[in-house]
């Protein structure tokens, strides 16, 4: 670790933005702290009681002073609010061309998966200068994905997906922490993010012993679990055909419409009865306890891969899911 640092290094596009806002907040707070304490001491001495029978006299002033000390703080807090909100919204919206990574939090480790199938534990390799979007699930309790050098921290919540994104600006090795107390070995739930030159990253991606892309593995699982017996691609199955579904609106039996996103597919696997597609019977059994969060992510990727491709013709079948994975940004 070496020398003491007041701030972590700035290694993402978000880092300087967050720091500048923090400097502004610190400057405003310091200024007013000094002003108020200075005034307290000054008035305490200047207007101290000088004799036993001295009485205070009531001062009458106009509204000017009150207006000034209301309007200036109001203006300052509005600056803080809009500045903070704009950074917040920016940090919530991953760009469409972001590299997709999946993370699963588990007592007490981080499992990270690349679209190409590389899996890492407590390590993540990414290229410099490219936006990276991380979709996260938890296998057990709440964890929190915290990379101080990127100024990103996002809770990982059981039962749902959360996302975070960042664009690393410097190559190097950065701390990854779990920032939510999650049990005995919470403090050991740490790892490293390796930010690499794009060429090195390509080499790294090619070098790993990947066992097929996420979508490929999802396809295998889809067949292993016999999902394809009912979700048939020729529309003759007892369950909806999933080709072209991802990212599209789905009509439900109640008359409502939902968007087929990651969360919807996850729910349909674990709680098939929650939302029934219009025109189908609630015949699907739950897969709760039968598939891990990793496997659900693979299934989600498979469904995505047979989803519509932007500006391409209708998808014929799910035979080439791997290719679509990186080149097709997820529709949100």
> CB of residue 24 vs ligand CUA: minimum separation in angstroms?
31
* Nearest CB to ligand CUA, comparing residues 15 and 103: 103
Answer for the pair 179, 146: CB distance below 8 angstroms, yes or no: yes
Position 186 contacts ligand CUA (CB under 6 A): yes
Nearer to ligand CUA, 158 or 249 (CB): 158
Tell me the C-alpha distance between 68 and 109, whole Å. Answer: 54
181 lies in the binding site for ligand CUA (CB under 6 A): yes
Q: Which residues of 281-297 are buried (b: 16+ CB within 10 A; e: fewer)?
A: eeebeebeeebebbbbb
Residue 110 CB, shortest distance to ligand CUA, in Å, is 8
Q: Is 143 in the site for ligand CUA (CB under 6 A)?
A: yes
CA 319 to chain CA mean position, Å: 30
Smallest distance from ligand CUA to CB 141, Å: 7
Of 319, 112, 291, 295, residue with least CA distance to 233: 319
Site track for ligand CUA across 100-139, x = CB under 6 A: -----x--x-------------------------------
In the complex, least distance from residue 156 CB atom to ligand CUA, rounded to whole angstroms: 8
Could you tell me which stretch among 53-61, 88-96, 182-190, 323-331 binds ligand CUA (CB under 6 A)?
A: 182-190
Contact between residue 217 and residue 316 where contact means Cβ atoms under 8 Å apart: no
**Min. distance of Cβ 189 from ligand CUA in angstroms?**
4
CB 195 → ligand CUA: shortest distance, Å? 23
For ligand CUA, the closer of residues 135 and 328 by Cβ is 135
Using CB under 6 A, pick the residue from 101, 104, 189, 265 that binds ligand CUA. 189
Q: Does 294 bind ligand CUA (CB under 6 A)?
A: no
Distance separating alpha carbons of residues 74 and 70, to the nearest angstrom: 6
Specify the residue, 178 or 196, whose C-beta has the smaller distance to ligand CUA: 178
Nearer to ligand CUA, 106 or 304 (CB): 106
Question: What minimum distance in Å lies between the beta carbon of 140 and ligand CUA?
Answer: 9
Question: What are the CA-CA distances from residue 143 to residues 56, 92, 107, 123, 162 (Å)?
Answer: 58, 18, 9, 16, 11
Q: How far is the CB of 137 from ligand CUA (least distance, A)?
A: 13
Residue number, 177 or 201, with CB nearest to ligand CUA: 177
Interface with ligand CUA (CB under 6 A), residue from 132, 176, 178, 242: 178
Decide if residue 147 touches ligand CUA (CB under 6 A). Answer: no
Q: Which residues bind ligand CUA (CB under 6 A)?
A: 105, 108, 143, 178, 180-182, 186, 189
């Amino acid at each position: 670790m070496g020398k003491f640092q007041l701030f972590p290094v700035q290694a993402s596009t978000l880092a300087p933005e967050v720091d500048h806002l923090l400097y502004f907040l610190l400057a405003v707070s310091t200024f007013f702290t000094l002003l108020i304490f200075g005034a307290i001491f000054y008035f305490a001495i200047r207007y101290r009681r000088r004799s036993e029978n001295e009485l205070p006299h009531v001062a009458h002033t106009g509204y000017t002073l009150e207006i000034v000390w209301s309007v200036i703080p109001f203006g300052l807090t509005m600056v803080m609010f809009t500045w903070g909100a704009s950074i917040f919204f920016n940090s919530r919206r991953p760009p469409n061309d972001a590299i997709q990574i999946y993370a699963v939090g588990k007592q007490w480790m981080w499992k990270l998966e690349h679209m190409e199938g590389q899996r890492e534990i407590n390590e993540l390799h990414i290229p410099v200068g490219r936006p990276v979007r991380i979709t996260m699930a938890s296998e057990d309790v709440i964890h929190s994905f915290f990379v101080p050098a990127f100024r990103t921290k996002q809770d990982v919540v059981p039962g749902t997906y959360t996302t975070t994104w960042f664009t690393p600006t410097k190559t190097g090795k950065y701390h990854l922490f779990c920032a939510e107390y999650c049990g005995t070995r919470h403090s050991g739930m740490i790892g490293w993010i390796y930010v690499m030159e794009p060429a090195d990253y390509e080499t790294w991606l090619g070098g790993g012993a990947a066992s097929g892309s996420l979508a490929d593995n999802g396809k295998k699982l889809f067949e292993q679990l016999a999902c394809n017996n009912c979700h048939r691609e020729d529309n003759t199955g007892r369950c909806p055909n999933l080709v072209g579904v991802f990212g599209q609106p789905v009509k439900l039996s109640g008359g409502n419409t939902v968007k087929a996103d990651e969360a919807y597919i996850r729910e349909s696997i674990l709680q098939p009865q929650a939302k029934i597609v219009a025109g189908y019977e609630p015949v699907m059994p739950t897969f709760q306890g039968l598939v891990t969060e990793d496997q659900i992510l693979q299934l989600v990727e498979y469904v995505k891969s047979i989803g519509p491709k932007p500006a391409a013709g209708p998808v014929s079948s799910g035979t080439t899911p791997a290719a679509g994975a990186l080149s097709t940004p997820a529709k949100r």
